[in-house]
Amino acid sequence: MILEAFENIRVDKYISDEFEEIPREKIKDFIKDKKIKVNNKNIKPSYKLVIGDQIDIDDELFEVPEILAEPMDIKVVYENEDYAIIDKDENVIVHPAGSIITGTLVNGLLYKYGYDGLSHIGGDDRPGIVHRLDKDTTGLMVIAKNNETYKYMKGLFETRQVYKEYLAIVFGNFDQKSARIENFMDRDKNNPRKMAVCPSGRKAISEYEVIKEVDGYSLVKIHILTGRTHQIRVHMTHINHPLLGDPVYGNVKHKFNLDHQLLHCTRLGFTDQNGEYVSFSAPVHAKFQKYQDVLGLGD
């Protein structure tokens, strides 16, 4: 059944928002091939849902090709029998999506831990994955080694009980050196692959603190209380301080040969299953450090 909050939303957009890993074009093809119906009737991708609609989706849409184990250099910060804390590199997609089924973090995790050494109730295409970082965002992630840990950690993330701190290099200097950003985020109506601040959507909360500034650039520490897709990138752009190098939300000309955002998850903290609060940290990677030093934002 469709909730009132989703009334008057295109059916292809609704499904795309619910299942982010499935390309919207594939959803449209399924609708055109009559493999997605509403109230057991054929519809167009542009059909707008109403309260009470029942969406029927052919299971074929969710079929996942075999995901193979592949050797990968995975930096393990800490691990025990229940979970691992890793430091993800740039240019690494977390899990397979669409036609991308190789070279992801999941491929590397399968090689390192094996299928039986990871949780598998989060989806056949994402064993061990509790949460995600963008392809070019580096830093700390929690990997669940069993289903009980997955359920426990998923609950912590969903109830905002995981401390998540990032460092970013952004354009501009700040009048307000620290502040809380609280608004709502949803898919950009003009580009479904982007997120945007808008009255609809889900609440997104970030807190930032300027660490160091030089003319035109700032090093910023950001603590996120929610975990929306692209949250930091959208929030910083929203307050006119886009991330240096961000090809999607930045769109600011600069003199550097940089095609991705400089964003690093530097700290994670949570209460583990034994009731002990644990905290992990990881320094920024070489490329981030390089631009810190070039700009004069280093120590």
Residue of 96, 97, 89 lying closest to 72 (CA atoms): 89
Strand partners, 253: none
- Residue located via tokens 């939300």: 249
- In angstroms, what CA-CA distances link 116 with 40, 73, 113, 146? 39, 20, 8, 8
- In angstroms, what CA-CA distances link 136 with 233, 274, 287? 12, 33, 11
Distance of CA 16 to the CA centre of its chain: 15
Catalytic residue, chosen from 12, 87, 134, 246, is 134
d(CA 127, CA 115): 7
- In angstroms, what CA-CA distances link 28 with 13, 46, 101? 9, 9, 21
d(CA 31, CA 50): 17
Helix ranges (H only) for 114-214 are 147-158
Distance of CA 15 to the CA centre of its chain: 18
d(CA 262, CA 121): 32
Reply yes or no on whether 87 is catalytic: no
3-state SS of the chain: helix, strand, coil percent to 5? Answer: 20, 30, 45
Instruction: Give the residue numbers annotated as catalytic, written as ranges.
Output: 134
